[in-house]
Structure 1
Amino acid sequence: MPETAQMDARQAAERFVRVWERGWAAHDVEALLALYAEDCVHRSMPFREPHRGRDELAAYLRWSFEAERVTDVRFSAPLVGPDGVAAAEFRVRSEEGGAAATLAGCVFARFDARGLAVETRDYWHSADGHREPAGRLFLL
């Protein structure tokens, strides 16, 4: 995207969930990093220290993907508030150490005018086995 181009929050959020869905399934760290501003802040869990900047985020993603073999990734359509903050639910089925696991959660994202994520925050929970969250993913 040219340096002067602008993207509204809805477009940015829709691109964000599409790329994350494909990128997580393929463990494509470079595709995921392209969604973030250089000085982004990502919080992977409420009580962990944030990952600051693309380099820290890249290290976290590589570490997260290391032992995971993904079998299915789903993201809901994003909801975008009037302040431009977007939220989307996700569900990931994987195999870790030969055991089936499911991770389900929600991501909140704030974007700059270029459509890059400047701040993201995840809330998630994992469970043994391949499961569906109670009810379906919001708006999926």
Structure 2
Amino acid sequence: MDHVVARKFVDGWVTAWNAHDLEALLAHFAEDVTFRSPVAAQLLGGDGIIRGKAALRAYWAEGLRRIPGLRFEVIDSYVGVGCLVINYRNQKGGLVNEVLIFDGPLVVEGYGTYPGGDADPAGAASD
């Protein structure tokens, strides 16, 4: 992934989140995506692993329902080989890193990560 493609992805990602436009956001994810997050475990129960685009849509829709004022501010992004890390601040000021693994243009695996395991569903429920 080059830096121009990464910047375009990050800009679209944050715009979609801040507009609460799940379909625009999910357009970048593969049907069989796997997403892991401690917030998912708190919000939905279970092991915190979301399997498939439909389940990811349901998880993020629930997060937006619970946090209608959700808003992200991108601090920085980091490009790797087939991966991208988005460092952002949520609406409560909490720092989050989203680690995204790509297969071609689509995200096939993602991880929501928090400082010291700080996953507060009231403040960060839609990583």
C-alpha distance after superposition, 1:88-134 (max 9, x if no partner) = 201121xxxxxxx3332101111111x1101110113467xxxxxxx
C-alpha distance after superposition, 1:18-49 (max 9, x if no partner) = 12211221211111110101111111228633
Which residue is equivalent to 1:69? 68
Give the structure-2-normalised TM-score: 0.73
Q: Which has the larger radius of gyration?
A: 1
Question: Secondary structure at the residue paired with 2:68?
Answer: strand
Instruction: Give unmatched runs, 5+ long, in structure 2.
Output: 42-46, 121-127
Give the counterpart of 2:82 among 75, 78, 84: 84
Q: 1:122 to 1:43 in 2, by over 3 A?
A: same
Give the counterpart of 2:22 among 29, 33, 49: 29
Which residue is equivalent to 1:109? 100
Partner Cα distance (1:67, 1:34) in 2 = 23
**Counting strand residues as a fraction of each chain, which structure ranks higher?**
1
Which residue is equivalent to 1:118? 108
Which residue is equivalent to 2:44? none
Partner Cα distance (2:107, 2:51) in 1 = 12
Which residue is equivalent to 1:136? none
Identity of aligned residues (%): 29
Partner Cα distance (2:78, 2:15) in 1 = 19
* Greater mean alpha carbon deviation, residues 8-17 or residues 53-62: 8-17
Task: Tell me the C-alpha RMSD between the 2 structures.
Answer: 2.5
Q: 1:105 to 1:18 in 2, by over 3 A?
A: same
Which residue is equivalent to 2:32? 39
Give the structure-1-normalised TM-score: 0.67
Q: Residue type of the partner of 1:70?
A: G
Aligned length: 112
Q: Residue type of the partner of 1:104?
A: L
Q: 1:34 to 1:84 in 2, by over 3 A?
A: same
